[in-house]
Every structure is written in C-alpha cells, then in structure tokens.
C-alpha cells in the first residue's frame, strides 16, 4: 500500500503554488485582453454571462508609472489617473486628469488580470506595483503583433528577445509576486518552428510564472487565418511538467467548444476574444441558455456602461461589434453621439432618463451632439468634444 501511495504521489502533476491573493487558471474560460474592447463595462458584461476570469486590455508600463490611485465612491470603482505630461498655456487644462485604468474591486477585483505592455524589467515592476494590490494577477503581453506594441520592443517583439522576456518575468516574480502574493503569467504566440516554440516555453516555465497562455497563431498571422493547434499538446505537457497552468487562445467561440478543446488538447483552460467582442453571452453554456439574442446583450451592456460612466466613444465602439451589421439600427448607432440617442434608437425608453443624466455627468451636452459645422465657437474645446476629463 505504501509503495502504491508513493507511486501515485510521484506521478501526480507538479503545481506551482498559487499565491494567497492570486488565482488558479486551471479549469477557467476567460476573457482575452483586447485593446478598446476590454474596458471595464466589457469585462463586467463577460463576468455577467459566466466568464471565470477577465483580462484587462494591454496597458503600457510608462502610462501606469506615476498615476494616482483614487477611490471613486460615486461609481464604487478604483481609478488610476494622471495629469497631462505636456504643458499648456491654459492653467485649467493643466489640472485636467486623464483616466488611464478603471476597475471595479467588488465586481471583478479578484477575477481581474492586469496585462502589462513592457520591454524592461525595472519599468515592468514599477508599473505592476501601482495596481498589484487591486488585481488577482499580472500578465505580460508577449503576443501582440500590432506596431504600437512591437515598435517599442513590447508584445510579440519579446518573442525575438527571450532572455529579456525571461528577465521581465523573473523580476515580476521576485518583486511583485512576493510582495503582493499574486501570480505572474505571460501570453505568447507560436514561433516559426516546433523546436523554437518548445525551447521558449521551457525557458518561460522556469521563471516562476503560474500561468502561460498561447495564442495559436504565429506573429505574421492575422485573425482571419485559422488557428494552428498542432503544438498545443507539446506546450501543455511542458507546462504541466513545470506546474504551470496552460491556457489556449485562438478561434475559441463559446464555453461548450472551449471545454471540448481543453479535453482534446490537454490544456488547463481557454481564452475567448473575437467571439466575446461580438456577443459576451458566449461564456454561457448551452445548458445555461447558450447565446443570448443580440438586443438583450446590448441592453445589458448599455446598462453596465452607464453604471460605471464609461466614455461614450468607447461604448459606441463596442456597440458597433455587438449589434449585427445587417440590423437596421446598426447604421444609426454608428452616427449616434450620446447614451440618450442610443437608447432612443434601440427603443430602450425605460433607460432614457438615466441615459440623459449620465450624458450630463460625463459632459455630453445637446450642443456637443450637433453636426460639427453648427457648433458655436465656445464648444471647440476638449471639454465640449469629450466630456468629463477623468473619462478620457
């Protein structure tokens, strides 16, 4: 019996200990980090429909360093804001703060992973320290192929400098994971060959991370190209050997499909991106109702956006994804200029009074909704164009 018990213990998969304030990625279906589409109301919407964890959009280290953490009692959020770095002749404009990151501690805090864009270990630690006590984990973006990320040596560019990437992760594990007791993870893409991917994953797993997400495409590939899953089992096996949770990303469309892929490829969890952008109820299993009608999802999204006073431009951006392009209201929504207008267009009369109040609070005035050429000269200011400075 002792010999059998010993054999079972020996064969049990190794696991990196989950920090006290961290989260285990195993068995989770999660929202992917998406610039513009991953702001607070989108994350809350995904959680509403059953996402287990949510990744915030990639936030560049330099933008977080020097921000001020503020408790927003009116919205029950925590806001990270900063004054503009450039000077201005108008002293009033010098005092206007930009909102860099907003999170909701009660509704998402212990399920939120903050993704950082970085190319330097010291800056990564500085930026992570600003937000670490308010999130469940810090994730390093080593997979974004877009120039705004790679031009600074961040994102997918880090795949070509694996020693630098490992140094960043090791610094975060040593400084942030230890101090705040949260996990550090990384999101990567596939490299050109099976051998290169294997070597990279082994290096990354040795840094002390608790999770690794692999986007099953190479850097040059675009979303329309089919995800490559041939290397997934190899990557999952290496992660398991090192006790690191492995999540897959790429062409995952809903919870039921995700669970089948997890079983088929032996990964620990799955990440949904584009499908969640189009309909956040993709996190709901068929047994729990499956995909909800688009109008139901849109109504829930508008309600959530108003609750946290999300910047209208960002709200409209996601509405243009959530509303099918063939719907008659789609074109009207693309031309709308306020929450109140959107509610009128969509027939949400019961939300119009709230929408009007939110518009006023974020600085959207009737005059600012007029065509550009008809606005008075006094409205050619940043305030008239966008509203509340802390919602930029």
**Mean pLDDT score across all residues of the chain:** 90
For residue 63, pLDDT over 70 is answered with yes
For residue 115, pLDDT over 70 is answered with yes
pLDDT for 84: 77
Cβ neighbours of residue 244 closer than 8 Å, sequence gap 6 or more = 16, 205, 209, 210, 211, 212
pLDDT band at 187 (very low <50, low <70, confident <90, very high): very high
pLDDT for 1: 37
The answer regarding whether domain 15-288 maps to CATH 3.20.20.80 reads no
Task: Give the total residue count for the chain.
Answer: 392
Query: What is the rounded CA–CA span in Å between residue 299 and residue 256?
Result: 24
Q: Across residues 343-372, what is the average pLDDT?
A: 88
Mode of pairing for the β-strands spanning 98-103 and 183-190:
unpaired
pLDDT for 13: 65
Q: So which residues are the catalytic ones? A: 144
Q: What is the pLDDT of residues 29-49, one digit of tens each?
A: 999 999 999 999 999 999 999
pLDDT for 14: 75
pLDDT band at 372 (very low <50, low <70, confident <90, very high): low
pLDDT for 17: 87
Whole-model pTM: value is 0.89
CA atoms within 13 A of residue 170's CA, in its CB half-sphere = 10
The residue extents of the domains of the chain are 15-288, 294-391
pLDDT band at 386 (very low <50, low <70, confident <90, very high): very low
The residue with greater pLDDT, 223 or 244, is 244
The residue with greater pLDDT, 337 or 90, is 337
Give the range among 93-102, 130-139, 142-151, 217-226 with minimum mean pLDDT.
93-102
For residue 366, pLDDT over 80 is answered with no
269 burial (CB, 10 Å; 0-12 / 13-18 / 19+) is: buried
Closest CA to 314 of 33, 32, 39: 39
pLDDT for 379: 33
pLDDT for 376: 44
Give the range among 81-85, 245-249, 369-373 with minimum mean pLDDT.
369-373
């Amino acid at each position: 019996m002792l010999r059998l018990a010993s054999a079972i213990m020996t064969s049990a998969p190794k696991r990196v200990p989950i920090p006290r304030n961290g989260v285990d990625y195993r068995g989770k279906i999660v929202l992917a980090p998406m610039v513009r589409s991953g702001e607070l109301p989108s994350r809350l919407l995904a959680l509403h429909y059953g996402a287990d964890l949510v990744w915030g959009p990639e936030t560049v280290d330099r933008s977080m360093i020097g921000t001020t953490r503020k408790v927003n009692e009116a919205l029950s959020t925590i806001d990270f804001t900063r004054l503009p770095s450039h000077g201005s002749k108008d002293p009033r404009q010098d005092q206007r703060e930009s909102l860099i990151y907003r999170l909701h501690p009660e509704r998402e805090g212990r399920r939120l992973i903050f993704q950082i864009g970085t190319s330097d270990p010291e800056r990564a630690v500085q930026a992570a320290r600003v937000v670490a006590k308010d999130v469940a984990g810090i994730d390093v973006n080593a997979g974004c192929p877009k120039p705004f990320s790679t031009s600074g040596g961040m994102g997918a560019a880090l795949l070509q400098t694996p020693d630098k990437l490992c140094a960043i992760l090791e610094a975060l594990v040593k400084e942030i994971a230890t101090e705040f007791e949260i996990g550090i993870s990384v999101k990567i893409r596939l490299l050109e060959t099976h051998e290169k991917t294997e070597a990279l994953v082994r290096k990354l797993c040795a840094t002390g991370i608790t999770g690794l997400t692999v986007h099953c495409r190479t850097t040059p590939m675009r979303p329309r190209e089919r995800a490559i899953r041939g290397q997934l089992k190899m990557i999952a096996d290496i992660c398991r050997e090192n006790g690191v949770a492995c999540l897959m990303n790429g062409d995952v469309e809903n919870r039921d499909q995700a669970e089948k892929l997890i079983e088929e490829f032996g990964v620990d969890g799955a990440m949904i991106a584009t499908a969640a952008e189009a309909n956040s109820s993709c996190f709901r299993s068929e047994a729990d109702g499956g995909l909800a009608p688009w109008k139901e999802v849109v109504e829930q999204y508008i309600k959530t956006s108003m609750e946290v006073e999300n910047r209208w431009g960002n709200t409209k951006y996601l509405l243009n994804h959530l509303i099918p392009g063939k719907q008659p209201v789609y074109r009207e929504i693309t031309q709308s200029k306020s929450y109140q207008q959107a509610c009128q267009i969509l027939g949400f009369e019961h939300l119009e009074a709230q929408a009007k109040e939110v518009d006023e609070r974020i600085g959207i005035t009737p005059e600012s909704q007029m065509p550009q050429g008809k606005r008075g000269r006094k409205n050619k200011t940043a305030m008239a164009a966008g509203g509340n400075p802390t919602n930029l």
